[in-house]
Amino acid sequence: MNVSRQQNGIANSAERGPRARTRKLMLDTATRLMQSGITPSVSEVAEAAEVSRATAYRYFPSQAALVHAVVDEALGPILDWSCERPDARTRIADLLATAMPRIDEFEATFKAALKLSLDQWAQRQAGTLGNEPLFTRGHRVDLLKCVTAPLQGTMTPESRERLAQALSLVFGVEVLIVLKDIWGLTAERAQSVAEWAAKALVDAAIRQAEGET
Amino acid sequence: MNVSRQQNGIANSAERGPRARTRKLMLDTATRLMQSGITPSVSEVAEAAEVSRATAYRYFPSQAALVHAVVDEALGPILDWSCERPDARTRIADLLATAMPRIDEFEATFKAALKLSLDQWAQRQAGTLGNEPLFTRGHRVDLLKCVTAPLQGTMTPESRERLAQALSLVFGVEVLIVLKDIWGLTAERAQSVAEWAAKALVDAAIRQAEGET
DNA sequence: ACCGTTATGATACTCTCGTCTCACAATTTT
DNA sequence: AAAATTGTGAGACGAGAGTATCATAACGGT
């Protein structure tokens, strides 16, 4: 066994060589298909990317792996968001302004991801599928903890955490699902509602803390 | 063709006869399986209910139809909720107190329903599946419009609608998904956070309206 | 009791997903 | 150039969902 660079099936995407090339081809194809609205199966990506089914399955053993990879790409700008505004109000506004358009742009991808996490939850309930990590890695938690960080000292840690939890309800794909699909709003209106709600929640937490002192 | 009472495969559940009996048996079995956590396929329900696969498919042509029917049962107490409290604050609190425990009780069912609606959305995006009604019939909209009804006159209709839309973000399965699965909260804590957020939103809308007069 | 309707069960079939095996092509190593 | 390694394609295979057909059991009216 030599020290070649392809030991694990799905290697780091930063690598070179034919494997990385094919993987990127498939990933780009999958991303394109997803942004066009459909949630492609592995076979569909294989056909669109003009590789054989067998090859496609070598890189992405399931639709879940495929969606997972596309989500990681779509998540990029959101994870890079700089949590540097001075106060919580502007931080949450800035976060929503950054994240929501991106989520809307990749709506199909994020919805597919949510669907997968529901699948995994159901399978776990059923007893199948041990306690592997759930699909949803809580990026939301970290982002919102940073958003509420400036409030440290102005309220109890419990109140701050509750605020972060409440804010997580108005920040994510779910918002788009509810406001666009049920209410029939546009993406812009949905974002505006989310921003209003977020501001209301932050204000309420601050006001409540001031009243208690 | 005579005028007998079983023209459509899934007849009104209030009817009598062998069809209604088998249907109820399957529905109860499906509900039981779902509350135990799993989202059964039609075949699984058939086996559990001790009817043949063919018979099962006669009543519920797909897993979607099955989940749909179970959701309708699970929704019962929520749709029966009496919107009769005097003001918006108590109405939303009352609604959450009624609905959230029920949603938590049938968590697997509602998650399965959400999964189905995501499926249908994806299929519609893909061009397949014409514009049939989406799975999510907006019960939320009607309930929350009634919740905000007492505010009529105290603010602009736009503000009231925005409040209803914002409230819809803190009322539904999504709340449980985010707070239980991502934050690791208990159902009780989740409900408490939802109630806090709902109160904050209503207060913000009212306060804002008062400030504008 | 008879006959037609209706619900059911058994079975075979199609389709798709995902797995597996084997043969071939491309590339690298010696 | 020959040989070994590695990526790819083609096709077989099994599992599961959903459909369709046919035979039989239960029910209902005359």
Per residue in B61-109, pLDDT tens?
999 999 999 999 999 899 999 999 999 999 999 999 999 999 999 999 9
Q: Which of A58-72, A116-130, B4-18 has the lowest mean pLDDT?
A: B4-18
Burial code (b: 16+ CB inside 10 Å, e: under 16) for A92-105 equals bbbbbebbbebbbe
* Domain range summary for chain A, segments of one domain joined by +: 6-74, 77-212
Q: What is the pLDDT of residues A52-89, one digit of tens each?
A: 999 999 999 999 999 999 999 999 899 999 999 999 99
Instruction: Assess whether pLDDT exceeds 70 at residue B11.
Output: no
Report the percentage of chain B scoring pLDDT > 70: 86
Q: What is the pLDDT of residue B178?
A: 95
What is the reported pTM? 0.89
**Nearest Cα to A192, choosing from A177, A176, A204, A206?**
A176
Report the percentage of chain A scoring pLDDT > 90: 74
Mean pLDDT, residues B13-18: 54
pLDDT confidence of B135, banded at 50, 70, 90? low
pLDDT confidence of B3, banded at 50, 70, 90? very low
Q: Which of A60-64, A81-85, B14-18, B115-119 has the lowest mean pLDDT?
A: B14-18
DSSP assignment of A14-46 equals T--SHHHHHHHHHHHHHHHHHHTT----HHHHH
Q: What is the pLDDT of residue A74?
A: 92
Q: What is the pLDDT of residue A14?
A: 46
Q: What is the pLDDT of residue B122?
A: 86
Mean pLDDT, residues B52-57: 95
Instruction: Assess whether pLDDT exceeds 70 at residue A93.
Output: yes
pLDDT confidence of A13, banded at 50, 70, 90? very low
The answer, for A118 touching chain B at a CB cutoff of 8 Å, is: yes
Q: What is the pLDDT of residue B12?
A: 38
Residue A53: what are its φ and ψ, rounded to 5°? -55, -45
Instruction: Inspect the interface and report whether the beta carbons of B168 and A183 lie closer than 8 Å.
Output: yes
Which residues of A, range 43-102, sit inside 8 Å of B by Cβ? Answer: none
The answer, for B178 touching chain A at a CB cutoff of 8 Å, is: yes
Q: Which residues of B touch A165 (CB under 8 A)?
A: 179, 183, 185, 193
Is the Cβ atom of A115 within 7 Å of strand C at any atom?
no
Q: What is the pLDDT of residues B186-210, one digit of tens each?
A: 999 999 999 999 999 999 999 999 8
CA dihedral B52, B57, B59, B63 (to 10 degrees): 120
Mean pLDDT, residues B21-39: 91
Q: What is the pLDDT of residue B212?
A: 74
Identify the residue whose tokens are 């669907």: A115
Q: What is the pLDDT of residue A17?
A: 64
Is the Cβ atom of B7 within 7 Å of strand C at any atom?
no
Mean pLDDT, residues A192-198: 98
Q: How far apart are CA A171 and CA A104, in angstroms?
A: 12
Instruction: Inspect the interface and report whether the beta carbons of A200 and B205 lie closer than 8 Å.
Output: yes
Q: What is the pLDDT of residue A181?
A: 93
- Say which CATH architecture domain B6-74 belongs to: Orthogonal Bundle (1.10)
Instruction: Inspect the interface and report whether the beta carbons of A170 and B166 lie closer than 8 Å.
Output: yes
* Start-end of H helices in chain A: 18-35, 42-49, 53-59, 63-79, 88-105, 107-125, 139-147, 157-168, 173-176, 187-212
Best B121, B160, B167 residue to mutate vs chain A (most A CBs within 10 Å): B121
Instruction: Assess whether pLDDT exceeds 60 at residue A12.
Output: no
